[in-house]
Structure formats: structure tokens, C-alpha cells
A = this chain, B = another copy of it.
């Protein structure tokens, strides 16, 4: 039975790294979770159990920590690129992939002033980046995830096609709630990744102010806003679960419900995803 190793990847996942930058004044905190993956010409590792080219995933983990000591880790993009470059140069490797996620910490405020070395975790939301280094060069995407937002007005859904299985009533006024995941791609050669904060603000503000005809409609408006505040990105992919809030029927209890009382549901949920790209003209 002739077989081919058609694709392979291996690496280390969830390397948890906390770096404290202890400068003369206030401490800085960087809290990262990193995945490393390598693809390559590793057939003999698989087929013959020959580990000559198989860099241990334990070594990948050690490398992350050692690099973190030597590097300022000023932003996750630059640090991830440095790691990807290192691993891509290893024998047999045709592609190195580094994913990093940064947890959000704010300084604790004491007496109205930010404390120099105490922090409070802001919760769910995280910054993300994915770096791929292969023969075609470097690919870099960045984003954010788990940014949960909700609006109580300016969200409609009507005019949709009806078939024999349609029971959903049309509405001009519903709760719209989602957990934003955004991933964008920088133009080749970008080295300033500060667009992140501008893009985040554009996404959130557009979510708030858009007169929504559907999640799709708001997704497009959000993507457009992101592209308009950051010339250095060429596309953005948004993943927007529709976290349904169902109006409770209170009529059995002799009560009306003028869009006031809702059940928040976990499942099933809608899922709306799209990539919007700048047209290169």
C-alpha cells in the first residue's frame, strides 16, 4: 500500500510567558500565550522514526523564554517575527508559524494615580497575532478576540426570504450582541503596529452607531471603518457570533413586554464571517 505524507506540522502550544520589564520607574507587564508550529521535510521522522531533524517541542518552549529575556517584547508582532525567523532557519523547516495572544492588564488606580507595579486583568479581550515565515517570505496578521459588545437599539432584521420552515418574526427593534474577533493583514513591510488601538476604536464605535439591518450589514460597516482608519492594512476578517437575546412571552402572566425582558441564550447561535479587502486600483 503506497502512501504519501501529504502534509505535516508539529510544535508547542500554550507556552505561557509573563515578562516583567523592571525599569527604573514603573514595572511593565507582558502576558503572552504562544504557539509554535513547524512544517517541513520531516518524512523520515514519521515513516522511520528517525529523529535527526526533529527539533524537540521542549526546545521550542525554551527558546521562547530565552528570547523573551533578550528581547524587549515591546510588541507581540516583532517578538513573534523574531521567533518565526529563528525557527524557519532550522534544518528541514519549510514554514514556521508563530501565534501569540496577549492578555489585557491595566494598572490599578490608587488615590487617583496608576500604581507602578500592581495590575488588574481587564477580562476576556485579547490581542492576537499570527506570523508565518516560509519560502515566499513573511506573512503577518494581527487582531483581537473576545471583545463582547451589545446594543439595545438600532438593530433590525426583516425583508428576508421565507420558506416552509420559516417562523421567525420580522423586527425593527432587537438586541444585537456579539463577541468580536477581528484579524487584519498589514501591507508588506509594515513595522509600526500601533494601528491596533485605532482599529479597535473604529470597530466598537461603528458597532454602537450603525443602523443595523442585519449582523452582516453591521459587519461590513465595521470592516469598512477599520480599513478607513488604518491605511497600512489591506484586509480585515470579522467573525461575529450572533448571541441571541430572545424576548420573553409574558402574556400568560397578563403582562406585556415592550422589548424589556430577554433570555440570553448560549446555543444555538448565529455565526457571521466575512473578509473585506481594499480594492487595489
A contact set with B: CB distance below 8 Å: 1-22, 27, 29, 31, 35, 37, 42, 45-59, 61-63, 65-66, 68-70, 90-91, 105, 108, 110-111, 115, 117-125, 147-154, 157-168, 175, 204-205, 207-209, 212-217, 219-220, 223-224, 227-228, 235, 237, 241-242, 245, 248, 250, 252-279, 281
Please determine whether B160 and A18 come into contact, CB atoms closer than 8 angstroms: no
Please determine whether A268 and B166 come into contact, CB atoms closer than 8 angstroms: no
Complex contacts, A165 vs chain B, CB 8 Å: 59, 62-63, 66, 253
Cα distance A130–B248 in the bound complex, in angstroms: 25
Cα distance A122–B204 in the bound complex, in angstroms: 13
Cα distance A262–B45 in the bound complex, in angstroms: 27
Please determine whether A213 and B49 come into contact, CB atoms closer than 8 angstroms: yes
Please determine whether A152 and B117 come into contact, CB atoms closer than 8 angstroms: yes
Could you say which of B27, B52, B125, B276 contacts A3, with CB atoms under 8 Å apart?
A: B276
Cα distance A278–B270 in the bound complex, in angstroms: 37
Cα distance A257–B20 in the bound complex, in angstroms: 11
Could you say which of B19, B111, B216, B257 contacts A260, with CB atoms under 8 Å apart?
A: B19
Cα distance A65–B29 in the bound complex, in angstroms: 33
Could you say which of B47, B161, B279 contacts A55, with CB atoms under 8 Å apart?
A: B161
Q: A255-B66, A273-B10 are in contact. Are A278 and B16 (CB under 8 A)?
A: no
Cα distance A248–B16 in the bound complex, in angstroms: 11
Number of copies: 4
Cα distance A232–B162 in the bound complex, in angstroms: 40
Please determine whether A150 and B124 come into contact, CB atoms closer than 8 angstroms: no
Q: A66-B255, A119-B150, A207-B118 are in contact. Are A1 and B224 (CB under 8 A)?
A: yes
Please determine whether A110 and B209 come into contact, CB atoms closer than 8 angstroms: yes
Please determine whether A50 and B148 come into contact, CB atoms closer than 8 angstroms: no
Cα distance A266–B168 in the bound complex, in angstroms: 22
Please determine whether B261 and A68 come into contact, CB atoms closer than 8 angstroms: yes
Please determine whether A110 and B54 come into contact, CB atoms closer than 8 angstroms: no
Cα distance A161–B15 in the bound complex, in angstroms: 21
Distance (Å) between the CB of A246 and the closest chain B CB?
A: 10
Please determine whether A153 and B27 come into contact, CB atoms closer than 8 angstroms: yes
Complex contacts, A215 vs chain B, CB 8 Å: 10
